[in-house]
Structure 1
Amino acid sequence: MGFFNSCWETLLQFVSISPFGGPGRPQYPLPLGPSHDLTVHPHHASPGFHCSYPGYEGWESCNGPNSRDCWIQRRGAKQPLWNSFNIKTECTGIKREYWLEVSDMKIAPDGYLKPFGKVFNGSYPGPLIEACWGDEIVVHVTNKLTTNGTTVHWHGIRQLHTNEMDGVTQCPIAEDETFTYKFTASQYGHTWYHSHYSLQYPDGVAGPLLIHGPSSADWDEAWDPILISDWVHDSAFAVFQQELVPPPPISQSVLLNGTGHYLCNKTDPRCVCPQTDPKCVGPSSYFTKTFKKGKRYLLRLINASTDAGFIFSIDGHILKVISTDFVPIHPYTTNSLHIAIGQRYSVIVEATEPNTPAQDGNYWIRTQVPTGCGNIDPNGSDERTGIIRYGSGSAALPSSTKNQFPSNCTDEPYESLKPIVEWLVQHPENNVTENTYEAGIDLEKTHGYQRWDLTDTPLWLNFSNPTILNLKNTTWNPEYCVIPYDYKHGWVYLVITGDLTRLEKTKRRIPAAHPIHMHGHDFVILAQSNNTYNESVDPQHFNFHNPPRRDVAFLPSAGYLALAFKPDNPGIWLVHCHIAWHASSGLALQILERQEDILSSIGTLSKTKETCGGWEEWLKTTNVKFDQDDSGI
């Protein structure tokens, strides 16, 4: 983001999370530096949480309800260009430390018992990890699962010079072992952390991550990040078998931040809701929030689904969209928002209650699944998943009317997503023809099934042999789907299609749209089209001046997605579909970026090797029968 400014020294501060969930508190008092150190209290942060920037005498916070684009500034300065840190700059903060524990747990977030849940710190979603722009984040993850390993991915985090902390470039953390993740919050905004080991996050191993910083529009109150997710009642590992042997899986309900409303039969012993309710709806019921008329509310939305995209809306209200993933954009307004899996949006909602007294101050929050964007059992739940109340006195269900909007399976309008910090894209360094890939079902069986792939074979990684421990390789197992990019400057282009015009004899086309996620980078979207890719014609229409930028973008069914990124982050970086069933099937590839620079960028792989040693020892000594049945991501 913009030019780099190293603005202050690092100061140690420990923040912990209780093993039973909830935001952390300082473990014990630590000095925050001399009295002239700057302390910033982000609005609507956790109680007692603050940002600390040591050594900046004469500086002050400039972030307020009417100046959200500014973060800190030199007191009394007349020229803000070099006297403030704002939406176009970067900075360095302090150290934040957290502890997470992954364990098995029976959970019922929608009122129906899931006996095979897996959670962080005894809760779903996991506890909020909170930091400030520029902080170093340290998270100690301990695996208490008795039958499997785990890893954690910090979705969308840049991981510059910390490739081994990405959660997919390591062996699984063995039972009772701990791996410590360390990385810098060089971006700001909100995202989520989740297991990137097999199919654990659909069973509950996910939580929100919030990095306080400036924003591109003004607001008064902010909500903590909201995870929107589809939900399956049985183990995702078992449900995955339906993906390998079609028809594809169907989810039972939709959750807003772990709160659902599943209509189940009260005679079903797994229906754990109150038996006094004739419909036997879940005890959590509906996600509910309160508006105060005249206030501007910042909503931080995350699609944390396994399979479903959503159209988010609030009856009778307008959404002002101000960021896509970690990228601030010029605000635009809409009455509904398409959110693909893995995508994040910040939106501002002005609480101007519509003049409709019959509504009694209650309005539905809707999370509609567009046709072709996922499979939800219509008998279990519907799109009404939350409630906005003006005032806290009412308990009535809303009778509000749904906003009118298209319900097609797509991304937000391309022309609406205009980054504040502009990038100008140059010609590619790579051969784009060779780096054009197709999403389809491989006709050859791989490990017993026909699987999704992007290259000539589905991705299949050996848990015990991560790519990062093979940096001296000159050849690769084809199932690792390694694509070398040894460019040290300029731009690299990547085109992914869904039409199978190049490799149609080896793949079977399945009409499906795919949310494509790239690790280690923000990428620009040069083009995104529902039409079949024409290599001779379409590049003439690519957008090179300030195109949309993010880390998850939608590949339309039978269309194409053209991306570009800067090869400035040596490492092994996944590009994969974020439909968990597809990723586990093999719809992914690995970008090997600047192979000779990776180890020097990281510094050491000692902790990675230690974790692999613990995993190998667990495999030898456990009584659990371990059979890998998915791609390894």
Structure 2
Amino acid sequence: MGFFTDCSRALLTILSLTPASNRHFSQHPLALQDITIEPEKASPGFKCQYPSLKGWTNCNGPNSRDCWLKDSASAQPLFSQYDIHTDYESVFPQGIHREYWLNVTDKVISPDGYLKTEGKVVNGSYPGPLIEACWGDDITIHVTNYLKTNGSTIHWHGLRQLHTNEADGVNGVTQCPIAFGDTFDYKFKALQYGHSWYHSHYSLQYPDGVAGPLLIHGPSSANWDEDWTPILISDWSHRSAFQDFYVELGNSTSGVLGREPTMQSIVLNGTGSYTCDPSTDKNCLPQNKRKPIFSKVFQQGKRYLLRLINASTESAFVFTIDNHVLEVISTDLVPIHPFKTESIHIGIGQRYSVIVEAKPSAPVQKDGNYWIRTVVSDGCGTINQSKPEIGVIRYNAGSTALPTSTNHTGLSTLCADEPPENLVPVVPWPVDHQAVNDVLNDTFEAFVSNNVTHGALRWDLTDTPLWLNFSNPTILNLGNTTWNPEYAIIQESYDRGYVYIVITTQAIRKDPSKNTHSVAAHPIHLHGHDFVILAQSNQTYDVSATPKTFNFNNPPRRDVALLPAGNTGGYLAIGFKPDNPGVWLLHCHIAWHASSGLAMQILERQSEILPTIPSLDPTRKTCKGWDKWLAGHVLDQDDSGV
């Protein structure tokens, strides 16, 4: 079962819950006896190292992916190993310290063959470089901002950030933006394992290119032979997202509600194909100057692990590979019991690990080439050229031909999360049937206010759209007893059990005459936690009857879930453990909606946050640098800040 002796468990639990003021992020020297793991497709020279585990061995291989480390000298090895059954929220191996440097810069880029003159990139590329670590590592990432007209922050999407709230990377919440030429150091521990992504949380910056993959090596719930590094799938606009946002805001003078901007194409790992004429459009690149289509080679009979990330601005996708079956083994950073399917729906911010066996079904293509497809989900994205054929699987490494394969028949393109009965976590959570909070008071509606706020009709979850002061982040005001309503602070000061939050697309507590109902599905992301999905539906929420249908039996668990939309309503009920003191953003991951104000802050165990932070001096220094930069620049804030 992957458990430890009582003494080992107690010690590791104490280590994992020690406040940051008593922890350090240092490089561990590597001794000859130290256990070393070399992941198959890691960066050149990359190794997982565990200096403190003398005598332990690597138990992870093509036919034992569920195991990670084991004490070979133990009389009961089953109880002395780290594996897929280990409760990673409280137990983890102690790895080494890893250090990365990221520079955010302006750059003209053309991932789909069309020049984007206002691109923004990390270390000169889109996507940015892979941030790679191993389960239990300490990580320091130095982020320097070289954007001439923007501040910046980096959020490490889905990472729990236990006792490292100051490293969550949300300007106006956990820090001020990093000013031009300044550096902020993010320090945190890789408690979870799996893949995710990092992205800017400064206004609408990540849709312009400030995003990259994140991989933490660890066990898997099914076996595979070879793996791919994480791949980002995204919609793409040729204009800056800061410009496109004005389409979302609409006409403030006449009170006309805006609409989501139209994107131009789909890119897979920074590669796409936009059709245009270079003879009439100077921004259109000729074919010989474009990136080749994304392609990978399969060897017959091998099992390949694909790590998928939806890094879109507004679009959800249905992912398929012609004539191949997907075996799904994780949702976000949560290992699940494997299930097989021909397609997987991926909402914005969501991640899936899937295993594909290189064994194509009939009709087998003579050229050995098959399309990778990303179809835009119905009603969840508007793309001018939404070509689903976005990549190629080749069984012949020398082939350059485009596939003639066809998509699976009868696939659903509904904008809906995968059925909950398929998403069963390997490590179960016993969910309390009784919430510690007043659930009715923590029921929120995703509406558009009829009142013009900050020059536009805006989305909100609370009584007002979120609106942050970049220079005055919440984390520097933890002594407050009252808050500006526009900070959308929700106090959760419990130290046990589960907090339930319900979000609907219908009026439960709000006056419907003061709000506009808009039929839209919203991918809801909570920072600092995985949450259980208690209920999820596109039907009307009934405050008396619906809670009786909540699922408490090891429900799906993740950090992004879809709030469905229906003609009469829709709801998402989630639960999380209030075990991570901090101020945590909860928001829609449609970039336009978050920037409009569809977000709020969970202030969790307020009095216990500061003791977990070694020092706020780096945060104050960054704010000082931001204010100094701001004094010489005009910042016309038109969005929530996130």
Say whether the fold is shared (TM-score over 0.5): yes
Matched, 1:524 2:532: yes
Contact 1:437–1:454 (CA under 8 A) maintained in structure 2: yes
Alpha-carbon offset, residue 359 of structure 1 = 4.3
Matched, 1:161 2:173: no
2:635 maps to a residue whose letter is: F
Match of 2:370 in 1: 363
Identify if the C-alpha distance between structure 1 residues 223 and 368 changes in structure 2 by more than 3 Å, giving closer, same or farther: same
1:472 maps to a residue whose letter is: G
466-475 vs 110-119, which moves further? 466-475
Alpha-carbon offset, residue 274 of structure 1 = 2.2
Matched, 1:475 2:486: no
Identify if the C-alpha distance between structure 1 residues 548 and 357 changes in structure 2 by more than 3 Å, giving closer, same or farther: closer
> In the aligned structure 2, how far is the partner of 1:127 from the partner of 1:4?
37
Q: Counterparts of 1:369-408 in structure 2 under 5 Å?
A: 369-377=376-384, 380-404=385-409, 405-408=411-414
Match of 1:144 in 2: 146
Contact 1:36–1:55 (CA under 8 A) maintained in structure 2: no
98-107 vs 37-46, which moves further? 37-46
Match of 1:611 in 2: 622
Matched, 1:228 2:243: no
> In the aligned structure 1, how far is the partner of 2:37 from the partner of 2:188?
21
Contact 2:64–2:223 (CA under 8 A) maintained in structure 1: yes
Alpha-carbon offset, residue 265 of structure 1 = 2.2
Alpha-carbon offset, residue 33 of structure 1 = 2.7
> In the aligned structure 1, how far is the partner of 2:364 from the partner of 2:219?
37
Q: Give the number of equivalent residue pairs.
A: 607
Match of 1:256 in 2: 268
Q: Select which of 320, 323, 336 maps to 2:330.
A: 323
Match of 1:28 in 2: none
Identify if the C-alpha distance between structure 1 residues 585 and 270 changes in structure 2 by more than 3 Å, giving closer, same or farther: farther
Alpha-carbon offset, residue 626 of structure 1 = 1.4
Match of 1:22 in 2: none
Q: Select which of 534, 537, 543 maps to 2:545.
A: 537
Alpha-carbon offset, residue 605 of structure 1 = 1.1
User: Structure 1: which 5+ residue stretches go unaligned?
Assistant: 14-30, 277-281
2:629 maps to a residue whose letter is: W
Percent of aligned pairs sharing the same letter: 61
Contact 2:52–2:94 (CA under 8 A) maintained in structure 1: no
Match of 1:420 in 2: 426
- RMSD, aligned CA: 1.7
Alpha-carbon offset, residue 78 of structure 1 = 5.0
Match of 2:499 in 1: 492
User: Structure 2: which 5+ residue stretches go unaligned?
Assistant: 4-8, 16-22, 87-91, 251-257
Matched, 1:555 2:563: yes
> In the aligned structure 1, how far is the partner of 2:545 from the partner of 2:160?
33
Q: Select which of 40, 43, 46 maps to 1:46.
A: 43
Q: Deviations along 1:81-135, whole A, 9 cap, x unmatched?
A: 4321112322221100000000000000000000000000000000001000000
Identify if the C-alpha distance between structure 1 residues 131 and 35 changes in structure 2 by more than 3 Å, giving closer, same or farther: same
Residue aligned with 1:288, SS: strand
Contact 1:576–1:583 (CA under 8 A) maintained in structure 2: yes
> In the aligned structure 1, how far is the partner of 2:265 from the partner of 2:168?
30
Contact 2:106–2:147 (CA under 8 A) maintained in structure 1: yes
> In the aligned structure 1, how far is the partner of 2:369 from the partner of 2:581?
51
Query: Which of the pair has the greater relative contact order for Cα pairs under 8 Å at 6+ separation?
Result: 2
1:187 maps to a residue whose letter is: Q
60-69 vs 499-508, which moves further? 499-508
Contact 2:583–2:602 (CA under 8 A) maintained in structure 1: yes
Q: Counterparts of 1:112-261 in structure 2 under 5 Å?
A: 112-168=114-170, 169-245=174-250, 246-261=258-273
Q: Deviations along 1:554-578, whole A, 9 cap, x unmatched?
A: 0001310000000000010010000
> In the aligned structure 2, how far is the partner of 1:115 from the partner of 1:576?
29
> In the aligned structure 2, how far is the partner of 1:5 from the partner of 1:360?
57
Residue aligned with 2:118, SS: strand
Match of 2:341 in 1: 334
Q: Deviations along 1:16-56, whole A, 9 cap, x unmatched?
A: xxxxxxxxxxxxxxx84322111111121111100110132
Alpha-carbon offset, residue 500 of structure 1 = 2.5
Contact 2:204–2:241 (CA under 8 A) maintained in structure 1: yes
Alpha-carbon offset, residue 154 of structure 1 = 0.2
Q: Deviations along 1:577-616, whole A, 9 cap, x unmatched?
A: 0000000000001000011111012232111111101101
1:628 maps to a residue whose letter is: Q
> In the aligned structure 2, how far is the partner of 1:188 from the partner of 1:414?
22
Residue aligned with 2:12, SS: coil
> In the aligned structure 2, how far is the partner of 1:226 from the partner of 1:194?
14
Residue aligned with 2:176, SS: coil
Q: Select which of 604, 628, 633 maps to 2:637.
A: 628
Matched, 1:566 2:577: yes
Alpha-carbon offset, residue 381 of structure 1 = 4.1
Q: Counterparts of 1:30-69 in structure 2 under 5 Å?
A: 32-69=29-66
Contact 1:10–1:94 (CA under 8 A) maintained in structure 2: no
Q: Select which of 593, 604, 609 maps to 1:598.
A: 609
Matched, 1:438 2:445: yes
Matched, 1:106 2:108: yes
2:412 maps to a residue whose letter is: P
What is the TM-score normalised by the length of structure 2? 0.92
37-46 vs 299-308, which moves further? 37-46
Contact 2:321–2:373 (CA under 8 A) maintained in structure 1: yes
> In the aligned structure 2, how far is the partner of 1:140 from the partner of 1:10?
16
2:348 maps to a residue whose letter is: I
> In the aligned structure 1, how far is the partner of 2:134 from the partner of 2:364?
42
Residue aligned with 1:114, SS: coil
Alpha-carbon offset, residue 358 of structure 1 = 4.2
> In the aligned structure 2, how far is the partner of 1:465 from the partner of 1:358?
59
Contact 2:25–2:187 (CA under 8 A) maintained in structure 1: no
> In the aligned structure 1, how far is the partner of 2:448 from the partner of 2:237?
24
> In the aligned structure 1, how far is the partner of 2:56 from the partner of 2:287?
59
Q: Select which of 462, 469, 487 maps to 1:462.
A: 469
What is the TM-score normalised by the length of structure 1? 0.93
Match of 1:70 in 2: 67
> In the aligned structure 2, how far is the partner of 1:445 from the partner of 1:631?
14
Residue aligned with 2:245, SS: helix
> In the aligned structure 2, how far is the partner of 1:423 from the partner of 1:608?
35
> In the aligned structure 1, how far is the partner of 2:52 from the partner of 2:585?
39
Alpha-carbon offset, residue 74 of structure 1 = 1.4
Contact 1:134–1:185 (CA under 8 A) maintained in structure 2: yes
Q: Counterparts of 1:283-302 in structure 2 under 5 Å?
A: 283-302=290-309
> In the aligned structure 2, how far is the partner of 1:537 from the partner of 1:4?
41
Alpha-carbon offset, residue 501 of structure 1 = 4.2
Residue aligned with 2:439, SS: coil
Q: Select which of 2, 12, 32 maps to 1:6.
A: 12
Contact 2:25–2:139 (CA under 8 A) maintained in structure 1: no
> In the aligned structure 1, how far is the partner of 2:44 from the partner of 2:222?
24
2:168 maps to a residue whose letter is: D
Residue aligned with 2:119, SS: strand
Alpha-carbon offset, residue 264 of structure 1 = 1.1
> In the aligned structure 2, how far is the partner of 1:516 from the partner of 1:285?
34
Identify if the C-alpha distance between structure 1 residues 190 and 270 changes in structure 2 by more than 3 Å, giving closer, same or farther: farther
Residue aligned with 2:216, SS: strand
Q: Select which of 433, 436, 440 maps to 1:429.
A: 436
Contact 1:65–1:219 (CA under 8 A) maintained in structure 2: yes
1:198 maps to a residue whose letter is: S
